[in-house]
């Protein structure tokens, strides 16, 4: 009977204390920024909230996680040049046609990353002396760059 009474007393104390819960969080970073019509607040961590109430005030603290409001200013349109590379697979001469690009920088790398050919503003590459295999062709013009797989037979 003493054991049951002891367990009942301990169980009641645990249940009564278990109703008092608090949430905590670890926050590692955060900041706030406001410019003209946009305000941004952020934190990195888990949300917490603790509320204290008395007769005159309500105090709530925690991590602020508001809605982000944005406004579209401009839509950026990027035009890509028209590219034709043929024949692929290639035996001797690779033809490169690029419409809509100013000065074109051409680089050909093997699969180990070694540059085997570098040229600018040419329409053909002579690959006759290269070993058969797979190469990566990089075309660059201004802010545009593209990579293409080339197979040499």
Residues in the chain: 153
Residue scoring higher pLDDT (73 or 147): 147
State pLDDT tens for residues 85-134.
999 999 999 999 888 767 889 999 999 999 999 998 888 999 999 999 99
Residue 120: HSE in the Cβ half-sphere, 13 Å Cα cutoff = 6
Q: Of all residues in the chain, what percent carry a pLDDT higher than 90?
A: 33
Residue scoring higher pLDDT (64 or 41): 41
pLDDT for 48 equals: 47
pLDDT for 42 equals: 58
137 pLDDT above the threshold of 90? yes
Exposed/middle/buried for 106, CB within 10 Å: 0-12, 13-18, 19+?
buried
101, 144 in Cβ contact below 8 A?
Answer: yes
pLDDT for 13 equals: 60
SS (H, E, C) the chain: CHHHHHHHHHHHHHHHHHCCCCCCCCEEEEEEEEECCEEEEEEEECCCEEEEECCCCEEEEECCCCCCCCCCCCCCCCCCCEEEEECCCECCEEEEEEECCCCCEEEEEECCCCEEEEEECCCEEECCCCCCEEEEEEEEECCEEEEEEEEEC
Pairwise CA distance, residues 121 & 83, whole Å: 13
């Amino acid at each position: 009977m003493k054991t049951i009474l002891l367990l009942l007393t301990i169980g009641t104390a645990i249940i009564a204390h278990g109703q008092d819960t608090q949430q905590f969080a670890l926050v590692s970073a955060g900041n706030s920024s406001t410019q003209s019509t946009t305000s941004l607040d952020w934190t990195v961590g888990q949300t917490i909230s603790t509320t204290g109430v008395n007769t005159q005030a309500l105090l709530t603290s925690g991590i602020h996680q508001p809605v982000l409001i944005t406004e579209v200013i401009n839509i950026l349109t990027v035009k890509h040049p028209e590219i034709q590379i043929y024949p692929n697979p290639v035996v001797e001469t690779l033809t490169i046609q690029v419409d809509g690009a100013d000065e074109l920088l051409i680089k050909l790398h093997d699969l180990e990353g070694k540059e085997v050919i570098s040229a600018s503003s040419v329409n053909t590459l002579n690959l006759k002396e290269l070993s058969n295999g797979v190469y990566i062709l990089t075309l660059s013009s201004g802010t545009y760059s593209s990579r293409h797989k080339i197979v040499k037979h």
